[in-house]
Amino acid sequence: MNATRINEQTHEAEIEAIRQVVATIEHSQNNELPEEFLGLFRPDAIWTTSGGRRLIGRDEISVFTHQVLPGGMKDSTVTFEVVHVLFIRPDVAAVKVRQLYQTPDGPSEGSPLFVMSKEDGRWRLTACQNTGVVDS
């Protein structure tokens, strides 16, 4: 097996691991599991909500998540699709996601950007911006 083949396999394995983090975000939101969601973040992570609220550190993210997630998905679902992964370094990736909400008021879309870092063999959310898509 040549080095190129090994690198391709490693690359695909890393993308799959990143997809699993995004799938866990989807699962935790649909099932209103704040602790599962919070477990994906570095302690010093940054999160900017779709409304522009800046949260610095897992503690602030936790307070916000515990306020909005329980009951926040009542009669709603969300799906997340990884649409692009840019490896900035082998252990840092910018992940573009398509987010689709189905709510009683109708569908809506988000376009989050998750910067992830790989630490102790695990991809973690590091700096995230959750942006809503406004119809043109």
Domains of the chain in start order, with CATH, are 3-129 (3.10.450.50)
- Mean pLDDT score of the chain, rounded to an integer? 92
List pLDDT tens digits, range 37-58: 999 999 999 999 988 999 999 9
Q: Do 88 and 114 contact (CB within 8 A), yes or no?
A: no
- Per-residue pLDDT, 5: 58
**Strand 41-48 relative to strand 77-89, pairing:** unpaired
**Measuring CA to CA, which residue among 80, 34, 78 is closest to residue 59?**
34
pLDDT band at 4 (very low <50, low <70, confident <90, very high): low
CA distance 35 to 8: 34
CA distance to 11, 73, 109, 119, per residue, from 126 (Å) = 20, 24, 22, 11
Average pLDDT for residues 7-31, to the nearest whole number?
94
CA distance 43 to 132: 25
**Which amino acid is it at 79?**
T
E strands, the chain, are 41-48, 54-56, 77-89, 92-103, 106-110, 113-119, 122-129
List pLDDT tens digits, range 75-98: 999 999 999 999 999 999 999 999
